[in-house]
Structure 1
Amino acid sequence: MTDQPADEATVIIKKYANRRLYNTRSSSYITLDHLAKMTREGTDFKVLDAKTGADITHQVLTQIIMDEEAAGGEQMLPVSFLRQLISLYGNSMQALVPHYLEASMDNFRTNQAKLRAAFEDSLGDNPLARIAQQNMAMFKAATQAFMPGLGAEETRPAADEPATEPPGELDALKAQMAEMQKKLDALGK
């Protein structure tokens, strides 16, 4: 999308009097659920009243929020927040609120991305995560030893994908599995 001019990147949605929404890019009728999905995917769109051409994107997005809040799941907007927001309408601070909310949401998204990255990085350095990975590798090796062919496609890395286990550890696991197999064979006799 970054290669396209801003006008081409924005999907135009027309809303007709019968409340139907028409996606002009895909030439198909869509629902508010489709618009919610487009929003989650980061697709930029503008909703226009089909008769007047007025931009009604704000109203439609507000309707999507209302539908999400009424869906019966966990509500995101607490009552106290809604009360405070309503009390700001007509207030001298009303003009500042949209900018403040946008900046707050941008900061929230940035912090969320940083937290996710830090969490993923910490798993790589976590000894318990390494032990869990080793246990999983041993489980896969045991599965191969006792049920050859089962999951064989899953354990082989793709041609362009590097092996996840260092060769020394894999060889050690194979040796351990072979030793276990010998002991089991001896017990079975």
Structure 2
Amino acid sequence: MSEPVRLIKKYPNRRLYDTKTSAYITLGDVKELVLKFEPFKVLDAKSGEDLTRSILLQIILEEETGGVPLFSCELLSGFIRFYGSTSQSMLGKFLENNMKTFVDFQQKVQEQSRSLYGGSDTASVQADFWNQFLTFQQPAMQNMMTAYMDQSKKMFQSMQDQLQSQTRTMFGGLGTPDVPEKK
């Protein structure tokens, strides 16, 4: 049986209250829940509104400003440009799926390095492996995205051609009005 989702209430004074432990907690404590893969939900104590995403974004913001950032300015600018575009939901799913694949792959590498090296100095072995993997992965991802974009362009062009053909067929019997030629 799965563990119930841990409920955390956020009060107007910006304090977080963990209903499981009956104690106030910090964003650092919430980060620990994330790291331990413990399911939780943060709700506004007054309105009941789900604030989980905003709390997770606060944690990311603290991490980004407090040390070595994960996201470059160029990447963040790219994210901002996707908001409101037709590709917004596609990007979200793409990132979510790739993050899951990345985490699954990382876990397998950790398991294999533990079995090969018996737990000694696996961090440097993993770092070397990830550098090699990402060096290979970036061009592969670019090629995949280029192929996807080319395919999307062809599909869009095909849809436009088909729509024009159907329009001509539908309105072809009406004839065209005499339009004077330009001199």
Q: Give 1:112's match in structure 2, choosing from 98, 106, 109.
A: 106
**Partner in structure 1 of residue 142 of structure 2:** none
Q: What is the letter of the counterpart of residue 68 of structure 1? A: E
**Partner in structure 1 of residue 48 of structure 2:** 53
**Partner in structure 2 of residue 33 of structure 1:** 28
Give the TM-score normalised by the residue count of structure 2: 0.61
Aligned-pair CA distance for 1:122: 3.0
**Partner in structure 2 of residue 96 of structure 1:** 90
**Partner in structure 2 of residue 21 of structure 1:** 16
Q: What is the letter of the counterpart of residue 57 of structure 1? A: T
Aligned-pair CA distance for 1:119: 2.1
| Structure 2 residue matching 1:29: 3-state secondary structure | strand
Give the alignment's Cα RMSD to 1 decimal: 1.3
Distance in 1 (CA, whole Å) between partners of 2:14 and 2:40 is 17
**Partner in structure 1 of residue 71 of structure 2:** 77
| Structure 2 residue matching 1:117: 3-state secondary structure | helix
List alignment gaps of at least 5 residues for structure 1: 125-189
Aligned-pair CA distance for 1:102: 1.1
Map Cα deviations across residues 132-167 of structure 1 (whole Å, 9 max, x no partner): xxxxxxxxxxxxxxxxxxxxxxxxxxxxxxxxxxxx
| Structure 1 residue matching 2:28: 3-state secondary structure | helix
More displaced stretch, 114-123 vs 76-85: 114-123
Map Cα deviations across residues 40-90 of structure 1 (whole Å, 9 max, x no partner): 01111000011100001011100110011111x211112221111111001
How many residue pairs end up in the alignment? 118
| Structure 2 residue matching 1:96: 3-state secondary structure | helix
| Structure 2 residue matching 1:107: 3-state secondary structure | helix
Aligned-pair CA distance for 1:100: 1.2
Q: Which has the larger radius of gyration?
A: 1
More displaced stretch, 109-118 vs 46-55: 109-118
Distance in 1 (CA, whole Å) between partners of 2:107 and 2:85 is 34
**Partner in structure 2 of residue 86 of structure 1:** 80
Give the TM-score normalised by the residue count of structure 1: 0.59
List alignment gaps of at least 5 residues for structure 2: 119-183
Map Cα deviations across residues 4-54 of structure 1 (whole Å, 9 max, x no partner): 4xxx52001000110000001111100100000110011110000111000
Distance in 2 (CA, whole Å) between partners of 1:79 and 1:99 is 22
| Structure 1 residue matching 2:88: 3-state secondary structure | coil
